[in-house]
Structure 1
Amino acid sequence: MTALVLGRPFPASPGLLVPAARVLAELTRDLAPVAVRRLPLGEAEGGVLAAALVAPSPVPPRAVALRRGYAVAAADTTGAGPYSPLPLASVPTLVGPGDVLPSGADAVLPEDAVSIAAGLVEVQESVAPGFWARRRGEDAAAGTVLREAGLALRPVDVAVAGAAGLQEALIRRPKVLVAGRGDAAGLVAALAREAGAEVRLAPKIGPGESAGYDLAIVIEAVEEQAKALPEAGGRLVAARLALWPGEDGAALVEGTCPVLLAQPRLADALGVFLGLGLPVLRQLAGAKPGLVERGPLARKVASSVGIAELVLLRRAPGGLEPLATGDPPLAAIAAAEAWLIVPPESEGFAAGETIEAERFRP
């Protein structure tokens, strides 16, 4: 049995399975993070931060009201109560949520705690400094890190950074070409976008089309992959992969662009992306690992020595419940909340053993 890669036949035998770690090392050996881009916050959303978002000054710069009421100096209300009101020298300013408090005010009294009649102003409640107010720097002190470098810029980060007075962000956004039709290609494209990439989804990849991209992922039957790729130029890294699911995939480098090939089954495409595509993409983006889910295994995970195997998991009362190891059915893919890859030297994990898995984005 042979597999065609770059238009040339390679024997597809178990002896030619190349360890995923070796493939990854070869693909990333000369791979540097992509260039940093300075973009307005709205345009930068989804990219991976090349520099932390830092509050440039105290937030808020001056005390602001949190609710509607009268702005007062808390010291002027000390000892006031319903049966022992205290007079104020003047009518306090009525403010609403977000309004800057006038000079000297550090709290907001409820409207019904202030009595104004016949020119007499009295307060009937004692409040502490900061009551119904956000004082200078309480949201964030100057220099506070709002979002660390190496993390994706989320919509909430854009909003918080804008509220803190930032207008731009420095990000990296690798360009990824996903070639293929069907659900598997669509899933890989979506996962690459979640990881901070700028993705082009195309039905096929032709000779030289990987030029200008930082990573190409081809989701197609092996024979079709061969037709889509040039016969010359390109360095084969692996004709088959010691990765399950995904062993009938392949890896090569065209020019400076890593190219991953995966069969169009959903499980195969997922295995190749999580096992190889995501680590390559993170190196290109200068990204940190994803969110970790840590806990005891509800059941044993058995794995074959010599091959890296994907494990899908979900949260359960007893910890993390394995849904499938190696070749997950569609139901397991749909139910998965986290994943890990068992290294090839391991036989798996015992029930009750504490493990770390990476979360899928909800």
Structure 2
Amino acid sequence: MPLAEALAALAALVRPVAAADASPANAVGAVAAQDVVVGAGRPAERRALRDGWAVAAAAIVGASPYAPVRLGRPPAWVEAGAALPAGTDALLPPDSLGADPREIEVEAAIGEGTRAPGTEMPPGTRLLASGKRVSALCGLALAAAGFDRVSVRRPRLRLLAAAPDTLSPLLAAWIAARGGVTEAAARPAEVGDLAAALLAPGTDAVIVIGGTGPGRSDASAAALARAGRLHAHGIALRPGESAGFGEAAGRPVLLLPGRPDAALAAWLALGRPLLAALAGAGPDATLTLPLTRKVASVIGLTEVVFLRRTIASAEPLGGAEIPLHRLGRADAALLVPPAHEGYPAGTPVEVLPL
């Protein structure tokens, strides 16, 4: 099945998971289920950006060591983050007062050293858009704006991998970085036992790692067909040709090959879009970088090429059957469309950060 057709069929099986409320700190990494907009502007009053003496700027215009301005009383000391006293609108530096604290020898502009009311968080500002991932900085802004709960989607995925399992930890880390939660379990060897594992409740999708090829003990596709429906087994993807997907117990099931390069390629091509659809996330961000050397591809297959990014370019490391010592250096990937034979060196291409 061509990758574009597979993605459309897989998307038809997916619905965004139910939203749940989380604190801004716990929402980091998850995908917003609705827009978050500032209501009343913050701060409500003018606040100090640093420690200093609170004054009314208009009262000390022209102040200098040769012509100090005498105030009726010494200015009030204000700590950073505190509200300024009524009638003041600027801060003098801590060392700006002389022997007589009522005599001011420096002037200040209105607002100097302060944050005006409503300017930290202007009313109507959209801090978070539905479908966007909550970053750590966004979590800081949400907390500062007074939001104690945020509506987010965080899909739960079950990873079933045969021993020895070296891929589940990597996939779990990638899924967690994109707002998902995983639980890992051993993949049963027998068709019936694996079919039962596919039907076990508690998650929004199931990822089976290994057992998708023509080997005598490869039972993943047969188990999915028994547990539910096998929509596709064999994708026009290189590496990752033996990947497949379907549904069981009303949930999408993705079958990944067991070889690392093929499993990771299939995850990038099919798994990441599946996770994004479950979370209601928007399209993945890409980077455009020139290739340091040419990439050759087979017509009719979507080719996944692993890359190492440099400051201003991307170095192809390999695709199908790439050895692990090279795959371990990858931090991006390129999906070459099936109609392309590849790209010459220096071609700007869209790369997908890992």
TM-score range, shorter chain: 0.7 to 0.9
Q: 2:154 aligns with which of 149, 155, 173?
A: 173
Please say if residues 208 and 254 of structure 2, whose CA atoms lie closer than 8 Å, have aligned partners that are also in contact. yes
* Greater mean alpha carbon deviation, residues 323-332 or residues 299-308: 323-332
Please say if residues 208 and 220 of structure 2, whose CA atoms lie closer than 8 Å, have aligned partners that are also in contact. no
Change (3 A) 1:321 1:61: farther
Change (3 A) 1:345 1:98: same
Change (3 A) 1:114 1:188: same
| TM-score relative to the length of structure 2 | 0.88
2:306 is equivalent to residue 312 of structure 1: yes
Letter in 1 for 2:126: V
Provide the rounded CA distance (Å) in 2 between the counterparts of 1:307 and 1:227. Answer: 21
For this pair of structures, how many residues does the alignment match?
A: 341
Provide the rounded CA distance (Å) in 2 between the counterparts of 1:92 and 1:328. Answer: 70
Please say if residues 33 and 285 of structure 1, whose CA atoms lie closer than 8 Å, have aligned partners that are also in contact. yes
Letter in 1 for 2:184: L
Please say if residues 303 and 325 of structure 1, whose CA atoms lie closer than 8 Å, have aligned partners that are also in contact. no
Q: 2:84 aligns with which of 90, 101, 104?
A: 101
Letter in 2 for 1:207: A
Please say if residues 308 and 344 of structure 1, whose CA atoms lie closer than 8 Å, have aligned partners that are also in contact. yes
2:223 is equivalent to residue 229 of structure 1: yes
Q: Please identify which structure carries the higher strand content.
A: 1
Deviations 1:12-66 (A, max 9, x none): xxxxxx2222222222224222222233334433321011232222222222111
2:204 is equivalent to residue 214 of structure 1: yes
Question: Which residue is 2:75 aligned to?
Answer: 92
Provide the rounded CA distance (Å) in 1 between the counterparts of 2:312 and 2:93. Answer: 48
Deviations 1:300-333 (A, max 9, x none): 2221111111122333355333232344433443
Structure 1 residue runs of 4 or more that deviate by more than 4 Å after TM superposition: none
2:121 is equivalent to residue 127 of structure 1: no
5+ residue gaps in structure 2?
189-193
Please say if residues 292 and 358 of structure 1, whose CA atoms lie closer than 8 Å, have aligned partners that are also in contact. yes
* Greater mean alpha carbon deviation, residues 242-251 or residues 167-176: 242-251
Q: 2:317 aligns with which of 314, 323, 338?
A: 323
Provide the rounded CA distance (Å) in 1 between the counterparts of 2:118 and 2:317. Answer: 47
| TM-score relative to the length of structure 1 | 0.86
Please say if residues 53 and 93 of structure 2, whose CA atoms lie closer than 8 Å, have aligned partners that are also in contact. yes
Please say if residues 47 and 81 of structure 2, whose CA atoms lie closer than 8 Å, have aligned partners that are also in contact. yes
Provide the rounded CA distance (Å) in 1 between the counterparts of 2:205 and 2:34. Answer: 23
Instruction: Give me the CA root mean square deviation.
Output: 2.3
Deviations 1:123-142 (A, max 9, x none): 22222122221222222211
Provide the rounded CA distance (Å) in 1 between the counterparts of 2:242 and 2:224. Answer: 20
1:344-355 aligned within 5 A: 344-355=338-349
Q: 1:161 aligns with which of 130, 142, 167?
A: 142
Please say if residues 306 and 334 of structure 2, whose CA atoms lie closer than 8 Å, have aligned partners that are also in contact. yes
Please say if residues 221 and 230 of structure 2, whose CA atoms lie closer than 8 Å, have aligned partners that are also in contact. no
Question: Which residue is 2:279 aligned to?
Answer: 285
* Greater mean alpha carbon deviation, residues 154-163 or residues 35-44: 35-44
Q: What displacement does 1:98 show?
A: 0.8
Letter in 1 for 2:197: E
Provide the rounded CA distance (Å) in 2 between the counterparts of 1:334 and 1:78. Answer: 64
Provide the rounded CA distance (Å) in 2 between the counterparts of 1:160 and 1:88. Answer: 39
Q: What displacement does 1:73 show?
A: 1.7
Q: What displacement does 1:161 show?
A: 0.5
Question: Which residue is 2:123 aligned to?
Answer: 142
Q: What displacement does 1:165 show?
A: 0.8
Provide the rounded CA distance (Å) in 2 between the counterparts of 1:245 and 1:239. Answer: 14
